[in-house]
Structure formats: structure tokens, C-alpha cells
Amino acid sequence: METSRATARTVAGVDIGGTKVTFILWSGDAIAYRVERPYAARSSREFSELILKGMSDLHRRATDAGAAIMGTGIGCAGMVDQKRGVLLFPPNMPGVRDVALVDIVGGVTGAPAYLENDANCALFAEWVSGVAVGRRNVVMFSVGTGVGGALIVDGHLYVGRHGFAGEMGHLPMVDRGLLCGCGRHGCLETIASGTGIERYVRSALARGSKSLMKMEDADSARTISEFAHNGDLLAQQAFKRAARYLGRAAAALINTLDPDMVVLGGGVAESGLLMDEMKRVAQRRSLPLVFEGIEFSMAHYRNDAAAVGAALLADQLLKGQTVYST
């Protein structure tokens, strides 16, 4: 999408997911330009080259529009070192480790760059200008290739002592469960992510479960969701199972943090097949007085949440505003 909104006050946002990277220019409280690039980088060098090329193209686009990128926010799936600007460990990107993203991006634009977990960026977008505006305590689950999470605590983004808070996808849910990309077994992500849903369907089909789906249909959570909407019982069961575990995880966070709101986002969540069962299970497993009055909401910004949030994060940090809890 391209518009004529680029002005002198332009910031960039980058959302690095497990299978694609989204680059945006944010100006005038809206996306002025957006491009999405699929990738399958399997080494830090390939990954770095992809980001370098994408940022170079974005910088050229801004320059051609007469705008200067004042700063860039980078949202990335996985564990990041915000202070050094280094992507440490993305569980869904085998072979990619210790990439100095802030140096790469800042080297292209000549402006400050800031690195944050993608789910934190997504929640920041919702908190600044989406469904969570005005809320003091918010929990977010972002369900896509993996499961991300983020927390607003007492009106600030909470990242914890090491900067890794909100890794809901790696809550231990099943004893002796499936191996997760993080190296542990039984994490929420192995069950409730798009990858987990696909794996569940493939396993069921291999055991001879009845379904209109073929094995090749199980390579995409989006395709599985289409079968679910058309009444396929196995596809429906795969999403219901994922939602039940998301509900259990939500209850644990609700009982721990007593939040105002739970936000559900991410590409897999946009199927519309997770929220109702997730909320039902969360209510059944939460303390009644803690659950009372809590609001569950789908994310407003959908697939662009992390890119928008990264841009907004950069904008507020450039203005010297306090973003993180201390």
C-alpha cells in the first residue's frame, strides 16, 4: 500500500516473523508505505542480507517521496537484547543467531534504531492506538507460526530483568510433550501455534482419522481453518484443542496479574476459531473474582500490529517518552 502521507516526520517499522518480513513507513498516524517479503533464511548471513536489502529499498522509497526516516523500530520473533540491539535466538529460524539488527538498520538510514520482541511491539500498537488504549494492565497472545506474548503492567511495557518477559509460547503445558524450537518439551507453542495445529492434523491423518483434508492440506494453518469453517470435524478439533491450551495459559496469567484485558492477535487468530473456546476455558480455570470484568478482544491492527507497534515505539522513544516499566 502506498499513499502520499510521507512527511518530514516519518518513522519506519519492521516486523520480522518466522516466514516473512514486513517493512512500513509510518507518517501522519497511518501507514504511508508497506511491503512484505517472504523468506526462508537458514543462516545469520542470509538473514542479515535480507534485512539489509529490505531496509535499503525502504530508505530509497522514503527518499523518493521526499521524507527522512527519523528512526526505525524493529519487532522480531524470538529473544532479543534490546540494549545491544541484537537478535539472540529466534526459535523458528534455525541457523539464525546473534544478528546485530540495530547496527544493520541504523547503518542504512543513518538514524536511531530500536529492537524489541514482535509481540511486545504488537501490544504496544494496541495500547497506543488500538483496542487497549487507556488500559493499565494488559496481556496479549499473538498466535502465528509460533505463539508470542506481551504485557502492559501499570501503564508501561513490561519486559523483565533480562528483557524476555512475556514468552507465553514457552509456558510448559504438557509433561513429556513435543520438542519445541526452544529446545524444551511441551511448550504452549508446540500445541497452539499454526505449526502446532498443522502437526496435529498431519499426525491425525497419518493415523487414519476421517477428514476431507489430504496430507498436503495440513501444510497451512490457513487452509486448515478453511476446512474448519466448512464443517470438517478434524480441522475444527485442531483449532479447538489449540484454543483450550491458550485458555489454560490465559487463566494462569489472569490469576497472576489480574489484568484489565486479554488481547488475541496474530495470523492464526484471525481465523476466528480461537477466541470463544479460549475465553470459555480461561473463565472456567480463573478465580471468579479475578476474572470478573475482564475484557477479551481481538487485536485491531491484525497482521500489521508488530510493524505498526515497532514504528510507534521508535517514535515515542525518539520523543523521550517513558515506554518501559522500571
Distance, in Å, from the CA atom of 50 to the CA atom of 288, rounded to the nearest integer, reads: 48
Q: What's the distance, CA 198 to chain centroid? A: 18
| Gap between the Cα atoms of 107 and 78, Å rounded | 23
Per-residue pLDDT band for 70 (boundaries 50, 70, 90) equals very high
Which residue type occupies 110?
Answer: G
Element (H, E) at 313: helix 305-318
Q: Give the span between the Cα atoms of 57 and 52, in whole angstroms.
A: 9
Task: Give the pLDDT of residue 326.
Answer: 60
Q: What is the DSSP letter of 172?
A: B
In one-letter notation, the amino acid at residue 30 is A
* Residue 135 grid coordinates: 488500559
Evaluate if residue 281 carries a pLDDT over 80.
Answer: yes
Read off the pLDDT of residues 217-272 as tens digits, 9 standing for 90 and up. 999 999 999 999 999 999 999 999 999 999 999 999 999 999 999 999 988 999 99
What's residue 232's pLDDT? 97
On the question of pLDDT at 64 being above 70, the answer is: yes
What SS3 class is residue 51?
helix
In 70-193, alpha helices (H): 101-109, 118-129, 189-192
Model confidence at 58: pLDDT above 70? yes
Domain borders along the chain are 10-117+304-318, 131-299
pLDDT band at 1 (very low <50, low <70, confident <90, very high): very low
Which amino acid appears at position 189 of this protein?
E
pLDDT tops 60 at residue 107: yes
Cβ atoms within 10 Å, residue 27: 25
C-alpha cell at 301: 491492527
The reported pLDDT for the residue numbered 3 is: 40
Please calculate the CA angle 97-246-138 and round it to the nearest 5 degrees.
80
- What letter does residue 303 receive in the DSSP assignment? G
| Sign, Cα dihedral of 270, 323, 21, 30 | positive
Tell the CATH superfamily of the 131-299 domain.
ATPase, nucleotide binding domain (3.30.420.40)
Distance between CA 136 and CA 53 in Å, rounded? Answer: 39
C-alpha span between 124 and 106 (Å, rounded): 22
Mean pLDDT of 199-215: 96
> What's the chain's average pLDDT?
92
Q: Which CATH class is domain 10-117+304-318?
A: alpha beta
CB-CB contact of 142 with 265 (8 Å): yes
Helix or strand run (H / E) with residue 182: none
pLDDT given at position 38: 87
Domains 10-117+304-318 and 131-299 share a fold: yes
Mean pLDDT of 206-218: 95
The most confident of the ranges 29-38, 160-169, 239-248 is 239-248
Q: Between residues 77 and 197, which one has the greater pLDDT?
A: 197
pLDDT digits (tens, 9 = 90+) for 109-158: 999 999 999 999 999 999 999 999 999 999 999 998 889 999 999 999 99
- Of 86-90, 213-217, 230-234, minimum mean pLDDT range: 86-90
Identify the pLDDT of residue 214.
95
* Spatial separation of the C-alpha atoms in residues 166 and 123, rounded to whole Å: 11
Count the Cβ atoms, other than its own, within 10 Å of residue 8: 9
Angle in degrees, 0-180, between the axes of helices 194-206 and 233-257, rounded to the nearest 10? 140
